[in-house]
Each structure stands twice: as structure tokens, then as C-alpha cells.
Amino acid sequence: MRGVVFLAVILLFVFGCGGDSYKEVVSLEKQGVKVTILSSDGKIKTGNNKIKVVVEPPKEIRELYFYMPPMPGMDEMRDTAVLRKVEEGVYQGELKISMDGPWQIRVVFADTMVTKDVFVPLSKDSANVPPPTSAHGGHIMVRPDKLQLLGVVTEPVQVRDLIKTFSTVGYVDYDRSKIYDVTVRADAWILDTFNRFEGEYVKKGTPLMKILSPDIEVALRELELAKEKGDPKLIKKAKEKLEYLQVKSLVRAPVSGVILKKAVFEGGYVKEGALAYRIADISSVWVVAEIPLQLARYVKLGTEVLIVPEEDPENILEGKVDYIFPEADHMAKTVKARISVKNPDLALKPNALAEVLFEIPLGEVLAVPETAVVDTGRRKIVFVEMEPGMFMPKMVKLGRKAEGYYEVKEGLKEGEKVVVKGTFLLDSEAQIRGIYGTGGGGGHHHHH
């Protein structure tokens, strides 16, 4: 009889069946299942804890553990309770907690899992009234009911088809491949220039000058004498000479364009091969765009652009980059790109300015909103929502920027939720708590 009593005392000591010795700490509830966790001293703290778990209505617990997501420099943590079933819906055992901080209690059943975000040390008084924000071990906690009040908004990281758009200034230049020099093949006197002047736009065939060339007059006389003699050989040679001299007393514009230079005047004399006029065809022009160095990598040969004339912004023209100059302007920190543009209505005036709009497809990339990125000066950080109200700063490596998004090269996965509004609050909290460490402090530059 004494042995039975002694065994009962041992069992009572080991299993802690005395219900009065346990005090409620926290309760969890989901889909009609309520889990109450009690401890021997009414607290869950770092170190060993003797606990009792009551499930209503009774269900078989497969696992009960405290979970902390991974953080910089530390893997995820799972502190699992060792439980023994005392009766239907009642368990007792031990729970060893590794550290103070934000945890999520997870009670796993066959068909569901009941969870609750808590802080350790945990008591009944603190279980349901966590502070609005707190941070520990790399995490920041915001009470779910405070998220809207504080303006914290999240958005999932997605693969997006991005187009890089930017504009820069350009100036209109003559198409150097369409500039024509007007010369004569024999010395000549200038009889008339028809009041032509530099800067004048002339159409093809417009008279430029009337000339009198002694060489041409001599060649004409030779042709007459050859015809009089009836000598076929002399006639042929005389015609060939006149054809070379391009015998015409009236010289006309070879193309429609602008007179860039006029080197002859009435009563003057022009030597064989000397420049008389220089005319530029402006039915197509070059637009030379000044591209900032940090954007130059996006521009390639064949890149299509839109040209907006400064004097006629409604008349938008299309063009393509056909040459990228090999030198950069170290003062302006730009690279020049030449764009060929058709100019049928002469809307683009040489030497005028124009806005050059670039739209460059970047393809499908994993992208994060620009407003999610915090630049600490040494690293780029985004806040990832690990659980409702639980945010962790993650260092990311970013690539190209377009349409309000950054290309993500490292640090995030598709579907992860990042904070896009309210990052200032979380960043401030992270700085106060020293979550960034010594490498990220000072000189913040926010991309909001």
C-alpha cells in the first residue's frame, strides 16, 4: 500500500498533474479550435518551462513549437515542446526557449494549424497586448491592428515586363551625308547669282548663278569648226570636251535644301573646281542626343526613339539610333548618340533643340517597387513581411530601374511580400534598435 502511494507521489511530481499549480499564459483560437497554454509560474521565458496544454474540443496535437523566421546572420529557429498526453485534449511537458524576442506559437493538428505571434518573456497580461512596434534579433513587430493606422502597406514581389523610359535633350544637325557642293569644271565669270543668300531654302532646279567660261566658249567654237569640216573624229572629241566641262551657262540647285555657303558674287570669277555653293538637304536630319553616362548602357544601335521638336511639341517624329559616339563629355558627363530622322514637313530646324524620348524594353525581370527600397548608404534594404505584423529587413542587390520598379538580382524571391508604404517608420525603428549593424548606419538615402 505504501508503494502505491509513493508511486502516485512520483507520478504527480513528474507529470505535474496538480491542475492548481499551472497558470494560464496564452490562448490561441482558430476555426472553432481553442488552445490554452499554461505554465507552472504563469510565464513563458527563456530557458526551461513546465507547461500544460488544453485543447477544446479535444484534438490530437501532432506538434507544438515556437518559430522564429531566419534573419541576417542566423537561420530560422524552432523550439519544440516535449508533450505527454494526460487525457483527451490535455497535455503536459516541457518547453525550452532559446532566446527572448518575437516568436510565433504554432500548434499543429492533422487538419489545421493554430498560430499566434507573441513575445518572450510572455505572460497572460502581455500575451494579448503587445507594444505597437518592437524589434529584436533583426525583426520588427507591428501589431496587426496598428498596420493601417501607421500606413504600412505591402505588395508581393513579382516578375514584370519592364520598359525603361527616359528623356534627354538633343539638338538638330544637318545630315552630313546629304550635303552637296556646287562647283564648275572650268574657270568662269559670274554674270548673275539671282540674289541667292546663305540660309535660304531653295528647291531642286532653282537657278543659282549664270556664268561665262572662256574654256567653254573655246570648246563650243571647236565643235563648230569640226562640224564645218565634217570630221567625225574632231566632232566626237569636241563633244567629249564639252560633256566634261558640263557646258551650261545657267547653274541650278542639284537638290532641295538650305544654302550653307555662297562663295560667288556677280562680276566675280570662279576657278575650276572651286566651291561656288554648298547646299544641305534637310528632308532628313540628324538629332544628336546628349545621354547621361548612367543611362548610356541602355542605348544601342537601332534603338527606336521619339523626337519632340521644341518649337512644335505636337509634331512627334520617330527615329532610330544609327551611331553612338566613342567619346564622352567629361564636363557634361554625357555620351552623344546620333539619330536619323525623316523630316518631310521640315518641322525639325537645324540647330534647334528637341526632346528625345527613349523606350527600351528590359524584358521580364523579378521586380520590387522603388518605394520599397531603403538606401542606407552602403546597402540597399527592403522590409519583408514574414508573418502578419512581423517584418525583417533584407539586403538586396538591385539592377536596372524602370517604371517605378527595380530589377532584383539577389535577396528576394517571387511572392515575398515587401513593405511599399510605411518604410520610413520601419527604417527609423531599425536604426534606433541597431538592426542594420555598423555597416549600414549613417547617410540614408530613401527611394520613395
13 Cβ partners below 8 Å, 6+ apart? none
Taking Cα atoms as reference points, which of 413, 381, 416, 375 lies closest to residue 396? 381
Provide the pLDDT for residue 244: 65
Q: All 3 cell numbers of residue 42?
A: 504563469
C-beta atoms surrounding 186 within 10 Å: 21
> 82 and 104 in contact (C-beta within 8 Å)?
no
Q: All 3 cell numbers of residue 163?
A: 520598359
Top-confidence range, 126-135, 258-267, 432-441: 258-267
Listed in order, strand segments (DSSP E) in 347-444 are: 353-369, 374-375, 380-387, 390-402, 405-410, 417-421
The answer to whether residue 62 scores a pLDDT higher than 90 is yes
> 248 and 182 in contact (C-beta within 8 Å)?
no
The answer to whether residue 55 scores a pLDDT higher than 60 is yes
Q: Could you say which DSSP state residue 424 is in?
A: H
- Sort residue 234 into left (φ over 0), alpha (ψ -120 to 50) or beta: alpha
> 23 and 42 in contact (C-beta within 8 Å)?
yes
Cα-to-chain-centroid distance, residue 364: 12
Taking Cα atoms as reference points, which of 137, 132, 65 lies closest to residue 104? 65
| For range 383-396, the mean pLDDT | 85
Please provide residue 144's backbone torsions phi and psi, each rounded to the nearest 5 degrees.
-50, -35
> 391 and 153 in contact (C-beta within 8 Å)?
no
Provide the pLDDT for residue 403: 86
Model confidence at 104, in pLDDT bands (50, 70, 90)?
confident
Q: How far apart are CA 201 and CA 196, in angstroms?
A: 10
| For range 286-299, the mean pLDDT | 93
The answer to whether residue 59 scores a pLDDT higher than 80 is yes
Q: What is the pLDDT of residues 390-426, one digit of tens each?
A: 888 888 999 888 888 999 998 899 999 999 998 887 8
Element (H, E) at 267: none
376 Cβ partners below 8 Å, 6+ apart? 436, 440, 441, 442, 443, 444
> 188 and 270 in contact (C-beta within 8 Å)?
yes
Longest CA pairwise span in the chain (Å): 162
Q: Which of 35-49, 83-97, 420-434 has the weakest average pLDDT?
A: 420-434
Q: How far apart are CA 238 and CA 226, in angstroms?
A: 8
| For range 343-368, the mean pLDDT | 90
> 139 and 386 in contact (C-beta within 8 Å)?
yes
N-term to C-term CA, the chain? 78
| For range 97-118, the mean pLDDT | 87
DSSP characters for 285-307?
A: EEEEEEEEGGGGGG--TT-EEEE
Q: How far apart are CA 300 and CA 171, in angstroms?
A: 19
- Of 311 and 195, more confident: 195
The answer to whether residue 235 scores a pLDDT higher than 80 is no
- Of 91 and 379, more confident: 91
C-beta atoms surrounding 71 within 10 Å: 19
The b/e string for 391-404 (b: 16+ C-beta within 10 A; e otherwise) is bbbbbbebebbbee
| Burial bucket for residue 141 (CB in 10 Å: 0-12, 13-18, 19+) | buried
Domains of the chain: 21-129 (2.60.40), 153-160+363-446 (2.40.420.20), 168-173+283-362 (2.40.30.170), 182-277 (2.40.50.100)
Q: How far apart are CA 1 and CA 3, in angstroms?
A: 5
For residue 21, list its beta bridge partners.
none
Q: All 3 cell numbers of residue 87?
A: 487525457
Q: How far apart are CA 362 and CA 430, in angstroms?
A: 33
| Burial bucket for residue 372 (CB in 10 Å: 0-12, 13-18, 19+) | buried
Q: How far apart are CA 67 and CA 120, in angstroms?
A: 12
- Of 11 and 408, more confident: 408
